[in-house]
Structure 1
């Protein structure tokens, strides 16, 4: 259990370290939403609402969103279409976090 929490903390800290660099790139609202979702996942793992497997899957989903954001920012800006795509992915991720935290599975 401690190994999973340590891994989750390291993932969260690496995302937080990348956040300030990306915040200056024109997507602070995405970084804020990502940070909040990371916090919700971490809280769910700590409380037992998320199993370790669910937590890992949700962290991987967050990593895919960060990767997508990085690719979109390769030209230095986000287009309207890219912002909408990121928003759609973050909305979907938000629902996944909610569903996994409320599915009555416990660790």
Structure 2
């Protein structure tokens, strides 16, 4: 094979691998946003109570940490992607199970309203990350950093709702974390780094 053809083949393979990694990260981050929205919808409908949502947020935090660890080197291997897919499948099944069990919540209670607000913000921020991956404004390393921050937010939500009650002070602490995270998402989406 001639040198120009070999070079063209290598460039094509490299671009395909980069495109595949971007597609994997895009699919993974979009799934995060979708699952957060499913939790929010369950709270709004009363299918989830605050404690159930808190347990689901703890599981989401674990998935976010897995994503952060997998992407910290800027790459997502097939094995890492399979582990994350498996973890997301388990959370998805648990969301379904919790929404369809005998327990219900009162979507009009103060605790549920506070949890709804923080989970909706979480869903919005996960969607902003997914959009940044799709439009190329976020690199995998930036996504790793942001998912680590999302894990912190999810853990704070899990702690706040573990007893079935989210106080105004707990909501304020979660919102402060989310404000910080929102600023990081904005900064990383608008810096000079872009997906190659």
Short-chain TM bin: 0.7 to 0.9
Radius of gyration: which is bigger?
A: 2
**Counterpart among 6, 16, 30 of residue 37 in structure 2:** 16
Q: Which 10-residue stretch deviates more, 69-78 or 52-61? A: 52-61
Structure 2 stretches of 5 or more lacking a match? 1-21, 51-111
Structure 1 stretches of 5 or more lacking a match? none
Mapped to 2, the partners of 1:47 and 1:22 lie a distance apart of 31
- Paired residues in the alignment total 107
Q: What CA deviation, in whole Å up to 9, does each residue of 1:9-62 have, x standing for no partner?
A: 232333233333455531111122111111111111111111111112212311
Match of 2:116 in 1: 28
Give the TM-score normalised by structure 2: 0.50
Mapped to 2, the partners of 1:19 and 1:97 lie a distance apart of 21
**What does residue range 22-101 of structure 1 map to in structure 2 within 5 Å?**
22-23=43-44, 24=46, 25=50, 26=112, 27-101=115-189
Give the TM-score normalised by structure 1: 0.86
After superposing on structure 2, the runs of 4+ consecutive aligned residues of structure 1 that deviate more than 2 Å are 9-25
**Residues 71 and 22 from structure 1, CA distance in 2 versus in 1: closer, same or farther, beyond 3 angstroms?**
farther
Mapped to 1, the partners of 2:118 and 2:34 lie a distance apart of 17
Equivalent residue of 1:76, what SS?
A: coil
Mapped to 2, the partners of 1:60 and 1:22 lie a distance apart of 24
Cα RMSD, aligned residues only: 1.7
1:22·1:31 contact (CA, 8 Å) conserved in 2? no
Match of 2:28 in 1: 7
Mapped to 1, the partners of 2:36 and 2:120 lie a distance apart of 11
